[in-house]
Structure 1
Amino acid sequence: MKIRAGRYSAYIRPFSYIIDLIIINALSIFIVGFHQSQILYAIFISISWFIIAVYFGFYEVYRYTRVITILNNTLKQTVLFGIVCLALELYFSEYVYQQKIVLYVLVATSLVLLFKLFIYYFLRRFRVLYGGNSRTVVLLGNDNNIEPLKHFFTDNPDYGYKLIKVFDVKDDKKVSIKECLSFVADKKIDEIYCAMADLSDSLLVDIIDFADNNLKTVKFIPDGKQVLSSTIKFEFYDYIPIISLRNILQEESFNKVIKRVFDLVFSSIIIISILSWLVPIMAIIIKLDSNGPLFFIQKRNGLNFKDFNCYKFRSMKLNDTADMELTFKNDTRITKIGKFIRKTSIDELPQFFNVFFGEMSVVGPRPHMVSVTTIYAAKVDKFMVRHFVKPGITGLAQTKGFRGEVETDEDIINRVKYDIFYIENWSLLLDVKIIIVTIYNTLRGDDKAY
């Protein structure tokens, strides 16, 4: 059975709009009940739903969109739509049944999410079985620059990209490009992917002009030497186009509020339920084990590279090198109780006070002591990017095995790589995932916790 590529693609999103409208309006009647001005109420919740959806990009789901992005946008949609529904209920009804409104919002958004995920996975399966909803593509460039994308297209048919041909530009680039563009026009290819490193500016302009004039999509593959971010932001200052190479999601007002509320709630729960009784117990145990204070307070670099006092339960004997030398395996400075609390990460719990005071976040790049930060900043490319956001008690790098002692340059390079990925792809759900993995790793035992 042969399905013409993209035959019904244009109808998928409008179909989703209609189904979502039916869900939120039908459930509003079924759960909340009829209103005196039911038609006006339906108009308000429908318009509100789509305004919020446009703001958060709720319907911006593409074949390459990750599931966690869909879940994150749904969470944002749920929170804001719930607030709007409560406000509308105050206006349209004499009495507000908060429990009904909360139930309605949760059920409605859950059904919308289930339908969205069904479409998402159905299309992936549909592309594999029937070849429908697909895009034909060609690659233009040398092997070393296009090889990863070539493998991606061939190994992931569920994304719906059909690689038709690869054009090498090792020899005469102009001839290769002419052959490529002729092939694209004759075979009605949908998308052209070009390796930027293999083409001059004038050749890139020629390809862009061809794509514009022939209604083709052209995309570019950067190489490792080009300073490009995964979240490039394109803006206009009046009519002047401006490209921002790094879009820090946590700097957006709504995200900043969500992140801070989460930190406050989470840290408050830990402080009240655990630290309230653990601190006096640890004070006795640590004092009996060795002389010195309960807390080890160390200067570390935080948001915007500002110093702050980072709190930990003291796990070492008093020494003059604590602020200069990183801890290493079988470190003789560590006390008996210190070995246990470091292995179980109990020593890190006082940092929830730092989170509560706004100096740290529950999740974020781990802060380093001041003495080594300068060394890493000079040694590791993009190390300072980590300081665009608040440091965290745990982070993505730590869940990937890059915590504790820095034994090789690869350790700190990979830590920075994961930290930058986290900064550019932050979401509340990603924070929750990192926390769950951290708890699992702690209970299982981490070889690098010493």
Structure 2
Amino acid sequence: MTQKYNTYFKWVNLFIDYLILNGALLFAVALDSNIPLASPISEGYKLEFLLLNLCWFYCARLFGLYSNILNRSALSTMKATILALVVYVMVIYVLNLAFPSLVLTFSSLSFFQVLFAILLPTWKFYFLALRRANRKFGVDCTQVVVLGASRAGVEISKFFNSNPQLGYKVEGIFDDTAAGVVDGQTILGTVADCFNYMKATGISEVYCALPNKEVCRIKALMQEADKQMVRFRVMPDINDFIELNVYTGKNGKFPVLAPRVEPLENKFNEIRKRLFDVSFSLLVVVFLLSWLIPLLGLIIKWNSAGPVFFKQLRSGKDNKPFFCFKFRTMTVNAEADNKQTQKNDARVTKVGAFLRKTSIDELPQFINVLLGDMSVVGPRPHMLKHTEDYSVLIDKYMVRQFLTPGITGWAQVNGFRGETKETEAMSKRVEADLWYLENWSLLLDIRIVFLTIWQAIKGNENAY
């Protein structure tokens, strides 16, 4: 299992490496040609800069310089860096011989190579020194607990706590036989106490290292974790769990199993999604809502007494409540927070019926996106009462709360929207939400946005 910050630090290293490379190039050219650093470079230089950047990309890739950034040994990292530099220098030398008409002179290339060969290993050494000193690199730390004081449980607890750059901190271990402290690791109580402890302390991830012979108990704990909205990781022999639909991988040097793949646990994917959300929402707010809100505000006020916006507490990411904004489509009533909208609902105004049919009433939620409470695409946020009720009736219902709720979602574009008269209808919606959680990609989000726009244009029978 890839650590949630592995890709993030890979791109940090890539960015700084190329910053050093291009900075060294600019400095070498400026020094050799007496050109001020701030002056623009010619087209010929730009093409050769691009060529040298591509050469470094292939040299670094040849030795896997950016693989497993957080756990690769210091010796292996420095060895890959030196080898990549040696091959890079040789490639530049060959290019200089093969193309004597290059704009970059031999002296500027030589100075660049010396400068790059000094600065790059210095930066790598600094990064490795920070990692060795157990600095946290400014990452947010996920608190976890471990079930079972077996050798694997104690080892992963020690490993996480001695490597905070991975983004995990083990608060302690739950075990039915051990007590006090085991090999420096605190025993917090019995396995039966773990979920109450996590609920009280806000911990939402657990690593299970119970013996394989307790496979039935582990399965029961896995189901309870889904109900409690806790991410469950297993570290057993794979043979006992091969029948389950699980994701296998590694966290550091430890093999682990998880009940599902979650692409958005990867910090890099999370940042990409957030950038898309903010960019898309700013376009909607600036070019659409800036004039639509005043216009619809007047129409809604003219149609019925009450506020322009309807504000309601909904269940957000990690089940934290937030106020969800919509254009008001109903007369002001006391049942808004408990009763779903039904077909031909008397509470819906004439203007409101049009807004709901076209989904225009949802547009103010782009403000929620900018506030960070929602995403453009994700599971729809439900009323607090519905979350409370359905979490008891539907297994894995709370798993959808791992994600930031969305204005639209995979469930909605597949027809699972509107009133849920039966539990089965909500189960189908939850199933679609979990599929989205396990199969997220930026292209999938874009696809869902276009499908939503198309359905809003042609109309949806469940929109009322």
Q: TM class, shorter-chain normalised?
A: 0.5 to 0.7
Alpha carbons 1:233, 1:246 under 8 Å: kept: no
Q: How does 1:348-427 map to 2 (within 5 A)?
A: 348-427=362-441
Find the counterpart in structure 2 of residue 46 from structure 1.
58
Distance 1:221 1:322, change over 3 A: same
1:160-196 C-alpha deviation (Å, 9 max, x unpaired): xxxxxxxxxxxxxxxxxxxxxxxxxxxxxxxxxxxxx
2:48 matches 1:35: yes
Find the counterpart in structure 1 of residue 320 from structure 2.
306
Q: How does 1:209-228 map to 2 (within 5 A)?
A: 222=243, 226=244, 228=245
From 400, 413, 434, the equivalent of 2:448 is 434
Alpha carbons 2:377, 2:409 under 8 Å: kept: yes
Find the counterpart in structure 2 of residue 295 from structure 1.
309
Matches of 2:390 and 2:443, distance apart in 1: 30
Displacement of 1:45: 2.9
Amino acid corresponding to residue 283 of structure 2 in structure 1: I
From 256, 270, 273, the equivalent of 2:270 is 256
From 281, 291, 294, the equivalent of 1:277 is 291
Matches of 2:259 and 2:302, distance apart in 1: 53
Amino acid corresponding to residue 234 of structure 1 in structure 2: G
1:336-393 C-alpha deviation (Å, 9 max, x unpaired): 1000000000000000000011100000000101011111100011000111010000
Distance 1:316 1:235, change over 3 A: same
For this pair of structures, how many residues does the alignment match?
Answer: 256
Displacement of 1:320: 0.3
1:332 aligned counterpart, secondary structure = coil
Alpha carbons 1:302, 1:367 under 8 Å: kept: yes
1:407 aligned counterpart, secondary structure = coil
Matches of 2:449 and 2:65, distance apart in 1: 28
Amino acid corresponding to residue 452 of structure 2 in structure 1: T
1:337 aligned counterpart, secondary structure = helix
Amino acid corresponding to residue 259 of structure 1 in structure 2: K
Distance 1:31 1:249, change over 3 A: farther
Distance 1:290 1:388, change over 3 A: same
1:404 aligned counterpart, secondary structure = coil
Distance 1:292 1:42, change over 3 A: closer
Matches of 1:339 and 1:394, distance apart in 2: 19
From 242, 249, 254, the equivalent of 1:234 is 249
1:46 aligned counterpart, secondary structure = helix
Displacement of 1:245: 2.2
Matches of 2:355 and 2:49, distance apart in 1: 62
Alpha carbons 2:248, 2:255 under 8 Å: kept: no
1:35 aligned counterpart, secondary structure = helix
Amino acid corresponding to residue 304 of structure 2 in structure 1: S
Distance 1:53 1:340, change over 3 A: farther
Find the counterpart in structure 2 of residue 125 from structure 1.
none
Alpha carbons 1:248, 1:388 under 8 Å: kept: no
From 351, 359, 370, the equivalent of 1:345 is 359
Matches of 1:254 and 1:312, distance apart in 2: 31
2:48 aligned counterpart, secondary structure = coil
1:381 aligned counterpart, secondary structure = coil
RMSD: 3.1
Matches of 1:413 and 1:52, distance apart in 2: 46
From 297, 305, 316, the equivalent of 2:330 is 316
Report % sequence identity: 44
Amino acid corresponding to residue 250 of structure 2 in structure 1: E
Q: How does 1:138-287 map to 2 (within 5 A)?
A: 222=243, 226=244, 228-229=245-246, 232-236=247-251, 238=253, 240-287=254-301
Matches of 2:462 and 2:355, distance apart in 1: 13
Distance 1:388 1:93, change over 3 A: farther
5+ residue gaps, structure 2, are 1-42, 69-102, 106-214, 216-238
1:35-85 C-alpha deviation (Å, 9 max, x unpaired): 2896x5553132356769978xxxxxxxxxxxxxxxxxxxxxxxxxxxxxx
Alpha carbons 2:411, 2:433 under 8 Å: kept: yes
Distance 1:403 1:47, change over 3 A: farther
Q: Normalising to structure 2: TM-score of the pair?
A: 0.51
Alpha carbons 2:381, 2:405 under 8 Å: kept: yes
Matches of 1:48 and 1:413, distance apart in 2: 48
Displacement of 1:419: 0.5
Matches of 2:284 and 2:44, distance apart in 1: 36
Alpha carbons 2:45, 2:104 under 8 Å: kept: no
Matches of 1:37 and 1:332, distance apart in 2: 65
5+ residue gaps, structure 1, are 1-29, 56-91, 95-200, 202-217
Distance 1:380 1:293, change over 3 A: same
1:219-261 C-alpha deviation (Å, 9 max, x unpaired): x984xxx5x34xx1421454x4322223321121111110111
Q: Normalising to structure 1: TM-score of the pair?
A: 0.53
